[in-house]
Amino acid sequence: MRVCVKALTLIWMLLGILAIAPRPAHAACDVPENSTLDKAASILFNCSSTMDLTSLPPGEKEFVANFSFPKTLPPVETPWRGIAFRVEPERYLRTLLAYGLKDNVPIDWRVEKGSQSWCHAPWFQDIRERIHGMTRERGSRLFELSEHQRSRAENWAIGFYNGVGCYGLGQVWADPARPKTKGFVFPPNTFAIKLLFTTAPISRVPYLTGSKTWNAAIGEHGSVKEMRLLQVDVAVKDPAAGALTGWIFGTFMYDAYAPGDDIWSKLVPVGLMWGNDPELTAKKYQEDGGAVQESWVNPAVAARFFPLPRHHLGLFGRLNGPVDNFNSACLACHARALDWGRGVPSEGPLFDEMNVLLPFAINPSDEEALRNYFRNREPTEPFVADTQSLDYSLQLAGGIFRFRGWVDMNFSAQAAETRDVPPYKFKEEKSGNAGAAPSKILPPTQDRSYVGPSPFSRGD
C-alpha cells in the first residue's frame, strides 16, 4: 500500500512539474556552438520565437513568422487612391482598414498561410510571445483607458506588411548576415496594419465587451493570459501625401457600443494623420487657440478621452491611439525609425545618450525640442543626424537594432562586414567618457543581455 501511495505521489509530482515546465522552443532556433556568423544569423533570422511557453491551450498552435519576401515588386490593389484624404478622412481611413482586413480575417491573421501576400518584420524572436507572435507595447497607466481603470494594463501587438512592404523588407534582409540599409526607402503603396491587445478587464474598461480575444504567452515562464483587441493601427505610403512625410497613418479603437454585427465593424475611427503640425506649440495651443491642421481626429473619440488624466490622445490634439503616449503622435513617433549602424550597450553613458537623442516623447513646454520632435521629415531624413533613416518603420528599425547588438557582442571582429552604413559615434566616445567596450564574446545564442531595451517602440 505504501509503495502505491509513494508511486502515486511521484506521478502527481511529475505531472505538476510537466504542467509548469516551459515547452522547449522549436529546434530550428538552436544555434550550435562555434557556428559561423552566416550560419548563426540565418538560424536566428528564420526563428519565430524563443520565448517561454508553458502549454498550448486547446485548439491553439504556435506562432509561425512569415519572412517569404517577394523578389520582385508585386502588383497590389490600392482602393484608397483617388480618395481625397484631407476632404474625406474617415472614408479614406475606413478604406485602409477594409484593405487590411480582407485577406487576414479569414485566416485569423496566420499569414504564413498566405504565401507572399503578407509578412512580418524579422529579428524579434527573443521578444515575441509564442502563440500569436506579439511583442510588448507601452503599458496603460491608471485611468488612461477609462475612468474605471484602477490598475495598470499590459498591451501587446503584432504588425503585418502587404506584399509591397514585404518586398521592401526583403531588399534590406536579402542576406540575413548583412542587411542593407543605406539609402533605404519603402516603395509607394507599402501598407502596414497592427493589432494591439490589452490585459485590461471588461469590468474596468467596459467598451471592450465582446472584443476579439487572443490567448498570449505573456505570463511568468510563458504562462497564458487572455487579451482583448483594443486598437488597430494602419499606415500607407501614398504618393498623394506629398512632401510632408510621404506617409499617412490612421488608428481605430474597439467600441462595444458602436453599431455593427461583428467585432471588425465595431472598430471606430480615432483619426488620420499626414503631418505633425510642428508649429503647434504650447503657447499657440493654450493661449492662441491653435488646432491641428495636418490630422483629423474623430471628435466623438476625442471627447471620450478629454476628461481623463491623459486629456488628449496625442499632444495638443494630434493623433495617437488610446494605448500610445499622449505627449507624442503617430507620425512623430515613427519618424524615429533609424539605423545607428552599430549596437548600443544596455546601460551606461552611450545608452543614456541614445535615449536623449531619440526620445520617446518630449517636454511640451520646450518649444525647440517640440519643433524638432514634430518636424515633418521626408522618408530619407533621419531623426538623428549622421544615422540612416528607415522610412518610418519602427518594426524594421527594431529588428536592425537587435541584430546590430547581437553582432557586436558575438561577432565583433566581423561587425564591419555586416553593415553598409558607418557606425554612429556618440559624443561620450569622442570625449573618452564612454568606458571600455564589452570584451566578452558570447556564443551565438539567445542571450538577452547584450543590448538594452529597443528605443524603437511607443515608449513609456
pLDDT tens track for 75-96: 999 999 999 999 999 999 999 9
Give mean pLDDT, residues 133-143: 96
Give mean pLDDT, residues 379-392: 98
The pLDDT of residue 115 is 60
Give mean pLDDT, residues 259-284: 97
- Residues with Cβ within 8 Å of 311's Cβ and at least 6 positions away in sequence, in order, are 305, 326
Q: For 445, phi and psi rounded to 5 degrees?
A: -120, -170
The pLDDT of residue 347 is 87
Give mean pLDDT, residues 363-367: 94
- Residues with Cβ within 8 Å of 239's Cβ and at least 6 positions away in sequence, in order, are 188
The pLDDT of residue 340 is 98
CA-closest candidate to residue 137, choices 447, 405, 398 = 398
The pLDDT of residue 23 is 67
Confidence of residue 450 (pLDDT cuts 50, 70, 90): very low
DSSP 118-133: EE--SS-TTT--TTT-
Q: What is the pLDDT of residues 206-235, one digit of tens each?
A: 999 999 999 999 999 999 999 999 999 999
The Cα–Cα gap between 137 and 144 comes to 15
* pLDDT over 70, % of the chain: 87
Give mean pLDDT, residues 305-331: 96
The upper half-sphere exposure of residue 301, i.e. CA atoms within 13 Å in the direction of its Cβ, equals 27
Which whole-number Å values give the CA distances from 260 to 89, 146, 270, in the listed order? Answer: 20, 22, 17
Confidence of residue 436 (pLDDT cuts 50, 70, 90): very low
Who has greater pLDDT, 4 or 190?
190
The Cα–Cα gap between 402 and 164 comes to 24
The pLDDT of residue 326 is 95
The pLDDT of residue 312 is 93
Give mean pLDDT, residues 40-59: 96
- Residues with Cβ within 8 Å of 364's Cβ and at least 6 positions away in sequence, in order, are 282, 315, 316, 327, 370
The pLDDT of residue 346 is 85
Task: Write down the mean pLDDT value for the chain.
Answer: 90
The pLDDT of residue 264 is 98
Other CB atoms within 10 A of residue 384 CB: 14
Q: Is the pLDDT of residue 99 over 50?
A: yes
Q: Is the pLDDT of residue 13 over 70?
A: no
The Cα–Cα gap between 313 and 302 comes to 7
The Cα–Cα gap between 189 and 99 comes to 12
The Cα–Cα gap between 129 and 224 comes to 10
Residue with cell 457600443: 257
The pLDDT of residue 435 is 55
Give mean pLDDT, residues 117-145: 96
Residue with cell 509564442: 130
Q: Is the pLDDT of residue 203 over 60?
A: yes
* pLDDT over 90, % of the chain: 83
The pLDDT of residue 37 is 98
The pLDDT of residue 457 is 56
Q: Is the pLDDT of residue 453 over 80?
A: no
Which stretch of DSSP H or E encloses residue 271?
Answer: strand 267-273
The pLDDT of residue 17 is 40
